[in-house]
Structure 1
Amino acid sequence: MSFTGFPDEGLVFYEGLEADNSKSYWTQHKAAYDEHVRAPMLALVEELTAEFGAHKLFRPYRDVRFSKDKTPYKTHQGAVLHPEGAGPGAWYVEVSADGLAARGGSWRMQPDQVERYRRAVDGDLPGGQLEQLVAKIRRAGLSVDGEQLKRAPRGYDPDHPRIELLRHKSIHGGRHWTPEDWLDSREVVDRVRKTWRALKPLNDWLADNVGATTAPPDRRR
């Protein structure tokens, strides 16, 4: 299946799910999810795999074991692409009733990666490079976000010239679009690709300065 856009029916499906997040709604409308959400998302990421890496579609079911919110279904469909051996950086795309989002960077770094990230930010050359990258991304109209400490990390001066970046435990950038007619067209491919290419220097920086985690995999179920 070639990607032709996200049909309006997919957004309508999510509007209904937000109003009635129940197994009965899901069962009754699953065919709409499969045809108008999952299938086009799969077609989109398959088209982008050659440039951005192997893809994975996230399951539509929420993990409610440790959440106060027991609604069973996610109200968006997300997918992630990750180039092999590229460190913590990845690409993310999401569709929902609110529109489309495309992002790139790292959403979670292990402690050893956070340590290397902060050492790099503290260094004049790599830290200055990241500072310039972030400024360029923001000038292009993209946001830069990520989990941050409220205060300076231990061992770093609160007056450090790059203290905002040092407080990050993860860092990613991206763009969100509200629903418009182009969402049901191939223009989606061009917008997502352009956004990810604008964020490629950030993922390259993470690959060069942070790299893969050395921590053993978590085998807990």
Structure 2
Amino acid sequence: MISKDVFNFLKQLEKNNNRDWFNENKLTFKALESDIKVFYNSINEKLNVHDKTDKVKVFRIYRDVRFSKNKLPYKTHFSGSFHRVKPNLRGGYYFHIQPNNESFVATGFWDPSKEDLLRIRKEFEIDDDEIRTIIENKTFKSVWEDLQGDALKTAPKGFDKEHKAIDLIRRKQFIFTKKFTDKEVQSKDILEQIDKAFKDIRPYFDYMSDVLNTNLNGESLI
């Protein structure tokens, strides 16, 4: 479980986002951070029952303010990611803990390489029926809703702006998210809820992994 203390600390940090307050409360932070890491490792253990992921990465709470207009030193959330084992498995999982009902899980492709992005777009150009069948499935949408992510305003170079799949081809990211309330995150079954959502993304991941591991003739690249 994720305790109420986690949310209380993050709320206080949001009001006192400065080094003096943080240093005064660093022992509390370290204790909570330790519990959070245990929870993220529990998610990873669940994932590896039905998938294969690398070691979990829990992100630091310290913000990199060097190139940011926002100079607040600390994030007001906890977060961590889980990457599937390449080259066979593609895609990644993410869990974000933030008060005021801002917690969520996310899955998909945040920053595909130039080569992967072109391969995905070419697949959609040839045939977008299979991907639409997956992401428009009622059961799938009841969990993950609509495809999200940044997109170009027009067609990428070399693609027809009138193509019937241009809504997919224009995308630069291919992400799904699912929100959780504070109450849900603190519930006894939150670990199971997260794991179920991650299981439900598999048809999408299986399809994208197959696309990225084959050429346009369907021949394996690995």
1:25 aligned partner: 21
TM-score normalised by the chain length of structure 2: 0.83
Contact 1:149-1:168 at 8 Å conserved across structures: yes
TM-score normalised by the chain length of structure 1: 0.84
How far the C-alpha of 1:83 sits from its partner, in A, is: 2.0
For 1:204 and 1:40, the matched residues in 2 are separated by 32
2:193 aligned partner: 191
SS at the partner of 2:198? helix
Alignment match of 2:175 (pick from 172, 175, 188): 172
Alignment match of 2:30 (pick from 31, 34, 41): 34
For 2:188 and 2:98, the matched residues in 1 are separated by 17
How far the C-alpha of 1:188 sits from its partner, in A, is: 0.9
The answer to whether the aligner puts 1:81 opposite 2:77 as a matched pair is: no
SS at the partner of 1:175? strand
For 1:56 and 1:41, the matched residues in 2 are separated by 12
Number of matched residues? 204
How far the C-alpha of 1:56 sits from its partner, in A, is: 0.9
Structure 2: 5+ residue stretches without partners: 215-222
SS at the partner of 1:117? helix
Q: 2:97 is aligned with what amino acid?
A: V
1:9 aligned partner: 5
Contact 1:174-1:195 at 8 Å conserved across structures: no
Q: Within 5 Å, which residues of 2 pair with 1:141-180?
A: 142-180=145-183
Q: 2:185 is aligned with what amino acid?
A: L
SS at the partner of 2:182? coil
For 1:209 and 1:47, the matched residues in 2 are separated by 30
For 2:16 and 2:153, the matched residues in 1 are separated by 36
Alignment match of 2:126 (pick from 100, 103, 123): 123
How far the C-alpha of 1:22 sits from its partner, in A, is: 0.8
Contact 1:138-1:144 at 8 Å conserved across structures: no
For 1:81 and 1:187, the matched residues in 2 are separated by 20
Contact 1:10-1:32 at 8 Å conserved across structures: no
How far the C-alpha of 1:111 sits from its partner, in A, is: 0.9
Alignment RMSD: 2.0
For 2:189 and 2:146, the matched residues in 1 are separated by 21
Structure 1: 5+ residue stretches without partners: 213-221
1:217 aligned partner: none
Q: Within 5 Å, which residues of 2 pair with 1:209-220?
A: 209-211=211-213
For 1:47 and 1:18, the matched residues in 2 are separated by 27
Aligned-pair identity in percent equals 24
The answer to whether the aligner puts 1:48 opposite 2:50 as a matched pair is: no
SS at the partner of 1:108? coil
Could you report, residue by residue, the CA deviation over 1:48-83 in whole angstroms, capped at 9, with x for unpaired residues? 322341211111111111111111111111111112
For 1:129 and 1:67, the matched residues in 2 are separated by 41
How far the C-alpha of 1:211 sits from its partner, in A, is: 4.8
How far the C-alpha of 1:140 sits from its partner, in A, is: 3.5
